[in-house]
Amino acid sequence: MSLTMNSKGVARRSDFVAISAAMIVPTRLCGISLYVCDQEDGQYRLFRAPNVPITLEWVERLEQGRHRKLFVSTHEHQEFQRYLQENIKEMVADESIPTTQRFALLNEVVRGVLGKELNSSDLDASIAKTEEMGHHVVELVCRSNVISSELCKLLYHDFHTFTHVANVSYYCVMLAKECGITAPDELRKVAVGAMLHDLGKSEISGAILTKPGKLTDHEFRIIKTHPTIGFLRLSKRTDLSFGQLMMVYQHHEHLDGTGYPVQVSGSEIHPWARICAVADVFEALTSNRPYRAGMNKDDAFRIMDRQMGTFFDVEVYEQWKTLMQKH
Ligand SMILES: [Fe+2]
């Protein structure tokens, strides 16, 4: 393994990816070096060599100690992702791991999978993987002892499209449940529809998607094509339901008919698309952008109340507010 060293022989911050000690399942992780970051001098030091077995006792000691955060090298991060993906089914079902920790693990896996799959040209494989993730999301989000606003705190809030769709997916499942959709099969479809809702963005230039400041009319016209692009890519598939396709096609439509791409209104908008619309805007406002920090949820609700009051299905929006304000 080689890390890029600076002139003083110290590895750089960009050479490492932080992971939580909770992500380590004893006896399964091997072949990967684990590092800690020294708080005093900010240097990364080898904590566990790849050939040293990991025991439950060791993980417990780590969680109680001062090094709760571990690092893997960016070089080995893919290997770490593979380890998580191979073990996620078991970890999600493991009652001995607190639900919030299982959620953090799942979130890591979902982001990893979506980051890879959303840019893949093999749509069949991507959708199969997305469905597998949807299954885990519903399994975990539906556990009654988890508070939605607590789960939000565990999420990453960066500006990557895969982070956005992963978060929107958790939000949609929570919200759909609250709106009375309780059958696991339906919820799994909602989760997958949400993961696919911005698929069309993969064909739009990153320079436009992350542009700081106001978009030109031309750029905004390009952005507005993404629901149609995503819908056209998926519409011939027989493994997606009408509701899922509408999440992709209608998530930017507004109840008052001012949205896009078609400007349909009211009941012409599918209920799942209305759920996706609320989750989508809330996620976008509360996540960091390259040019601004994410808002707290009260500020996000203030903007959604004042500037978007007629955009959303009132009942769906009120359910979301109630859910997020529960402690
Ligand atoms: Fe979108």
Among the ranges 30-44, 74-88, 93-107, 171-185, which has the highest mean pLDDT value?
171-185
CA of 82 to the centre of ligand 1 (A): 29
Contact status, residue 239 vs residue 127, Cβ threshold 8 Å: yes
Q: How many domains does the chain have?
A: 2
Distance (Å, whole) CA 181 – CA 203: 32
Q: Identify the burial level of 306 via C-beta atoms within 10 angstroms of its C-beta, where 0-12 means exposed, 13-18 middle and 19 or more buried.
A: exposed
CA of 108 to the centre of ligand 1 (A): 22
Does 48 map to a domain?
yes
CA of 311 to the centre of ligand 1 (A): 15
CA of 59 to the centre of ligand 1 (A): 40
CA of 166 to the centre of ligand 1 (A): 13
CA of 280 to the centre of ligand 1 (A): 7
CA angle, corner 149, sides to 143 and 154, nearest 5?
85
Contact status, residue 283 vs residue 164, Cβ threshold 8 Å: yes
Distance (Å, whole) CA 2 – CA 22: 26
Is the pLDDT reported for residue 3 higher than 50?
Answer: no
CA of 198 to the centre of ligand 1 (A): 5
Q: Is 170 found in the same domain as 137?
A: yes
Question: What CATH number is attached to the domain comprising 205?
Answer: 1.10.3210.10
Does 64 map to a domain?
yes
CA of 250 to the centre of ligand 1 (A): 9
Q: Is 123 found in the same domain as 44?
A: no
16-20 and 44-48 strand pairing: unpaired
Distance (Å, whole) CA 126 – CA 322: 34
Does 80 map to a domain?
no
CA of 287 to the centre of ligand 1 (A): 14
Is the pLDDT reported for residue 72 higher than 50?
Answer: yes
Is the pLDDT reported for residue 319 higher than 50?
Answer: yes
Mean pLDDT of 122-132: 92
Q: Is 63 found in the same domain as 111?
A: no
- Strand order through the sheet with 44-48: 16-20, 69-73, 34-37, 44-48
Does 43 map to a domain?
yes
CA of 281 to the centre of ligand 1 (A): 9
Q: Is 109 found in the same domain as 56?
A: no
Contact status, residue 168 vs residue 283, Cβ threshold 8 Å: yes
Q: Is 278 found in the same domain as 163?
A: yes
Q: Token pair for residue 128?
A: 């199969």
- In three state form, how does the secondary structure of 58-113 look? HHHHHHHCCCCEEEEEHHHHHHHHHHHHHHHHHHHHCCCCCHHHHHHHHHHHHHHH
Residue (of 282, 278, 290) closest to 159 by Cα position: 290
Is the pLDDT reported for residue 21 higher than 50?
Answer: yes
Mean pLDDT of 311-322: 96
CA of 174 to the centre of ligand 1 (A): 19
Q: Is 114 found in the same domain as 51?
A: no
Q: Is 145 found in the same domain as 15?
A: no
pLDDT digits (tens, 9 = 90+) for 157-177: 887 888 899 999 999 999 999
CA of 184 to the centre of ligand 1 (A): 25
Q: Is 316 found in the same domain as 253?
A: yes
Which residues touch 283 (CB under 8 Å, ≥6 apart)?
Answer: 164, 167, 168, 171
What is the three-class DSSP state of 151? helix
DSSP state of 191: H
CA of 246 to the centre of ligand 1 (A): 12
Of 40, 75, 110, the domain-final residue: 75
Q: pLDDT value at position 2?
A: 39
CA of 225 to the centre of ligand 1 (A): 10
DSSP state of 5: B
CA of 74 to the centre of ligand 1 (A): 30
Does 299 map to a domain?
yes
Distance (Å, whole) CA 190 – CA 66: 40
Range of the domain at 134: 98-325
CA 289 → CA 93, 154, 232, 278, 283, distances in Å? 34, 18, 28, 19, 11
CA of 58 to the centre of ligand 1 (A): 44
Q: Is 282 found in the same domain as 165?
A: yes
Q: pLDDT value at position 4?
A: 44
- Mean pLDDT for the chain overall: 86
For tokens 């499209």, the residue is 161
CA of 248 to the centre of ligand 1 (A): 8
Q: Is 9 or 56 the better-scoring residue by pLDDT?
A: 56
Does 88 map to a domain?
no
CA of 43 to the centre of ligand 1 (A): 40
Q: Is 284 found in the same domain as 234?
A: yes
Distance (Å, whole) CA 257 – CA 49: 59
Does 1 map to a domain?
no
Q: pLDDT value at position 84?
A: 85
CA of 11 to the centre of ligand 1 (A): 38
Q: Is 302 found in the same domain as 160?
A: yes
Does 231 map to a domain?
yes
Q: pLDDT value at position 304?
A: 95
Among the ranges 47-51, 109-113, 178-182, which has the highest mean pLDDT value?
178-182
Q: Taking ligand 1, which is a single-atom ion, which protein residues have CB atoms under 5 Å away?
A: 198
Q: Is 69 found in the same domain as 146?
A: no
CA of 56 to the centre of ligand 1 (A): 43
CA of 295 to the centre of ligand 1 (A): 19
Distance (Å, whole) CA 229 – CA 18: 35
CA of 83 to the centre of ligand 1 (A): 31
Beta bridge mates, 37: 44
Q: Looking at 89-98, 142-151, 299-308, which range is the least confident one?
A: 142-151
Is the pLDDT reported for residue 124 higher than 60?
Answer: yes
Of 60, 75, 90, the domain-final residue: 75
